[in-house]
């Protein structure tokens, strides 16, 4: 790590300051009269202010040497000339250079105290009315409030950027909100680890058995386990986990759960033989999904319809003959209101979907196609006869609700989708909240076709929707099991089906599109992956580096995506004098880099090449850094046909994407895939991860790694249990909970 350096001095001038995120470039003058450039998150700073900055030196391509602030102490100016410089900078609304001169001439070194505590005294100056004095005082108090909030958070090693976020969330009462309930810092928006928040709360005198602490811990456990895929937790597990988190008696955790139930924040319901505890929004999503799906099923379409003639016409028009299961799928689409179509690679899902689309169009239905990710939607549109497909989020018109701090959808019961039939691909990726939102947007009688591969990994979000729907047996389901002759010629598909049956892939390299390169040491595996991307595939097989996707089961370790991304970036997009770059934490973003959005951001504004505009970039979207501001204040990123600009404070949402985890690659397909397959955490060394990785490759798959680890993955069909009540509800309570 770079050696820390300390500078002490006075702010001489501001070169740049972003009021929204606090990112600042300033010139600092020391007592010796030397000028230095300092960069970092330093909100509301102004000339005349004293700073003690701890940071590391870095060299900017245009601006030369500058100190990147990691920690800092701030002191308001005390000398009259410094106070004048400070106020003249415009730091206080309504005070320009002339007014600043008049105030400082009248009050001298007391000026700042007068502005904060007795602004009414400003009326003694010509041109300052009582109203203006109040406005000046209020503006200054707001500035001081933000400074104190930053100073308070700094005591616990929390960044100034968090203070700005808290101000956005809680307004002028942000400090009081944190003091009265420090646990708001562990909300989804703020993201401070619970242990750190708990330490702050204890330092503020919050009692170990206080209701606020106990209830915050319960909510934290439910939110944390939502991230593990659980829609609810059994009460017994929830109270034990809470007690362990707080090192308290389970009786206190039991009381906290009951208090939250009384408030309506937690819903407890008997699901089969389990006392299930839900966050209210997840409970509403689950019961809403069940009720609306059952309503669609009760209005099931025309069982008497005979579609054979139409199917024959479609076969003739498309020049194909459907296999038995494909024909069954198209026929059931004509006869039922809700249909599930599932199968592995090479079983003809795309052909069946194309047939269903054609059938619906011949029936005069307005058809809409959707998928969870942009890449999946793009591929669905290309393979379904050119009909445009959208992400589910865009289809529903997603927005961000500042009041509830949750995603909201324009399309709902009050404004449903203008569609007669909706077909959703990659359903295994859809969680219970998104499924509920989709169903809310369907008009009564809308036909719904859900397509996916049930053997792939489940959704990142809570629930196991696709599997629950299939296993409930309430929805007509067609299983495509026959691998077609043309697909059988692909070793990728043959090996994927073998893995799905618990057999390891063939390690002999006599296959046309599947190769295994045994590397049992991580360093050799990594160097092979980099060499394949940099030279061997582009030069010997004609596959450009930008059409190769490296996958790994894990982020961590020598063969994890973090290390692979760093090495692949250095090999494929090294620094150059004509390439701007921007460092963010341990990451460096460089013009030309392949990057990925790592969380949903509903506020990012994008513009298409045709001039149309919109908002929202979502978790898993992959793009390329097209331009970086020479000052490092923004990045311009191209996602397919959309161009977005990211401010400096949004860079935490981006990551390099030369290598991705298998989970992140779900729903995408790549011309060539290199899988770095070395031992990782036990939860990742399972069949579902290997099968999903193999099925991401379209033309070429190369596995680089430990053959014994790959064999073990194929044999290990252990699936993490997810607490979900959807199947149980669909079955009318006549099945065990899963």
DSSP per residue over 47-95, as a string?
TT-EEEEEEEEEEETTTEEEEEEEEEEEE---SHHHHHHHHHTT-STT-
pLDDT greater than 90 at residue 150: no
Confidence of residue 62 (pLDDT cuts 50, 70, 90): low
The rounded distance, in Å, linking the Cα atoms of 552 and 680 is 9
What sections of 119-159 are H helices per DSSP?
130-154
Q: Looking at residue 682, what DSSP letter applies?
A: G
What digits encode the pLDDT tens for the residues 66-110?
888 888 888 888 889 888 888 887 778 888 888 989 999 999 999
Query: In whole numbers, what is the pLDDT of the chain averaged over residues?
Result: 89
What digits encode the pLDDT tens for the residues 440-449?
999 999 999 9
β-bridge pairing 447-452 and 338-343: parallel
The rounded distance, in Å, linking the Cα atoms of 513 and 125 is 83
Helices (H) and strands (E) in the chain, counts: 27, 30
Sign of CA dihedral 219, 220, 221, 227: positive
Contact 182, 200 (CB under 8 A): yes
pLDDT greater than 50 at residue 293: yes
Contact 22, 651 (CB under 8 A): no
β-bridge pairing 274-279 and 232-234: antiparallel
Selection from 75, 93, 84 nearest residue 111 by Cα: 84
pLDDT greater than 50 at residue 1: no
Q: Which position has the token pair 């809680």?
A: 170
The rounded distance, in Å, linking the Cα atoms of 716 and 738 is 20
Q: Which position has the token pair 């397909």?
A: 669
Give CA separation, 309 vs 97, 135, 330, 362, 367, in Å. Answer: 84, 77, 12, 11, 21
What digits encode the pLDDT tens for the residues 188-204?
778 788 988 999 999 98
The rounded distance, in Å, linking the Cα atoms of 455 and 432 is 18
What digits encode the pLDDT tens for the residues 201-260?
999 889 999 998 999 999 999 999 998 999 999 999 999 999 999 999 999 999 999 999
């Amino acid at each position: 790590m770079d050696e820390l350096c300390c500078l002490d001095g006075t702010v001489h001038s501001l070169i740049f300051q972003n009021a929204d995120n606090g990112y600042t470039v300033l010139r600092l003058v020391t007592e010796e009269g030397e000028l230095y450039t300092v960069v970092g998150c330093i909100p509301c700073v102004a000339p005349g202010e004293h700073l003690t900055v701890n940071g590391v030196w870095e060299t900017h391509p245009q601006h030369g040497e500058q100190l990147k602030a990691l920690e800092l102490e701030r002191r308001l100016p005390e000398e009259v000339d410094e106070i004048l410089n400070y106020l003249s900078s415009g730091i206080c609304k309504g005070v320009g250079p002339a007014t600043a001169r008049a105030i400082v001439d009248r009050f001298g070194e007391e000026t700042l105290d007068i502005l904060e505590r007795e602004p009414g005294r400003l009326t003694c100056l010509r041109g300052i009315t009582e109203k203006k004095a109040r406005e000046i005082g209020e503006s200054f108090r707001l500035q001081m409030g933000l400074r104190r909030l930053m100073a308070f958070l700094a005591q616990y090693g929390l960044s100034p950027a968090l203070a700005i976020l808290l101000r956005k969330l809680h307004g002028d009462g942000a400090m009081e909100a944190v003091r009265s309930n420090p646990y708001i810092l562990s909300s989804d928006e703020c993201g401070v680890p619970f242990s750190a928040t708990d330490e702050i709360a204890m330092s503020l005198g919050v009692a170990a058995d206080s209701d606020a602490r106990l209830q915050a811990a319960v909510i934290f456990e439910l939110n944390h386990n939502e991230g593990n895929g659980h829609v609810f937790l059994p009460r017994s597990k929830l109270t034990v986990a809470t007690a362990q988190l707080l090192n308290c008696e389970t009786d206190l955790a039991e009381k906290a759960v009951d208090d939250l139930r009384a408030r309506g924040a937690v819903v407890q319901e008997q699901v089969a033989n389990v006392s299930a505890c839900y966050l209210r929004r997840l409970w509403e999503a689950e019961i809403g999904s069940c009720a609306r799906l059952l309503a669609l099923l009760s209005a099931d379409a025309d069982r008497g319809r005979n579609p054979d003639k139409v199917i024959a016409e479609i076969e003739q028009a498309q020049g194909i003959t459907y296999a038995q299961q494909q024909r069954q799928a198209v026929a059931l689409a004509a006869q039922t209101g809700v249909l599930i179509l599932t199968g592995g690679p090479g079983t003809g899902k795309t052909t069946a979907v194309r047939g269903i689309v054609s059938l619906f169009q011949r029936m005069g239905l307005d058809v809409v196609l959707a998928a969870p990710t942009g890449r999946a939607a793009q591929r669905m549109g290309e393979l379904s006869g050119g009909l445009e497909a959208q992400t589910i989020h865009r289809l529903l018109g997603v927005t961000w609700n500042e009041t509830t701090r949750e995603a909201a959808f324009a399309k709902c019961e009050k404004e449903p989708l203008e569609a007669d039939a909706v077909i959703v691909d990659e359903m295994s990726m859809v969680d219970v909240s998104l499924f509920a939102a989709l169903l809310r947007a369907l008009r009564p009688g809308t036909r719904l076709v859900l397509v996916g591969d049930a053997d792939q990994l489940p959704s990142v979000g809570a629930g196991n929707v696709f599997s629950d729907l299939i296993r409930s047996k309430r929805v007509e389901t067609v299983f495509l099991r026959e691998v077609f002759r043309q697909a059988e010629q692909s070793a990728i598909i043959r090996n994927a089906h073998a893995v799905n049956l618990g057999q390891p892939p063939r390690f002999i390299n006599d296959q046309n599109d599947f190769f295994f390169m045994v590397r049992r040491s991580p360093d050799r595996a990594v160097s092979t992956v980099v060499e394949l991307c940099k030279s061997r595939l582009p030069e010997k097989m004609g596959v450009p580096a930008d059409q190769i996707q490296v996958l790994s089961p894990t982020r961590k370790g020598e063969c994890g995506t973090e290390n692979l991304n760093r090495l692949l970036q250095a090999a494929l997009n090294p620094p150059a004098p004509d390439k701007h770059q921007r460092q963010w934490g341990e990451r460096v973003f460089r013009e030309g880099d392949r990057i990925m959005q790592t969380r949903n951001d509903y506020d990012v504004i994008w513009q298409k090449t045709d001039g149309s505009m919109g908002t929202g970039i979502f978790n898993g979207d992959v793009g390329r850094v097209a331009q970086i501001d020479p000052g490092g204040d923004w990045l311009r990123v191209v996602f397919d046909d959309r161009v977005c600009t990211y401010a400096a404070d949004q860079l935490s949402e981006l990551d390099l994407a030369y290598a991705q985890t298998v989970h992140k690659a779900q729903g995408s397909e790549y011309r060539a895939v290199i899988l770095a397959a070395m031992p990782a955490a036990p939860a990742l060394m399972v069949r579902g991860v290997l099968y999903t990785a193999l099925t991401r490759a379209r033309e070429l798959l190369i596995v680089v790694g430990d053959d014994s680890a790959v064999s073990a993955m194929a044999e290990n069909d252990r699936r993490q249990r997810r607490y979900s009540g959807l199947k149980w509800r669909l079955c009318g309570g006549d099945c065990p909970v899963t």
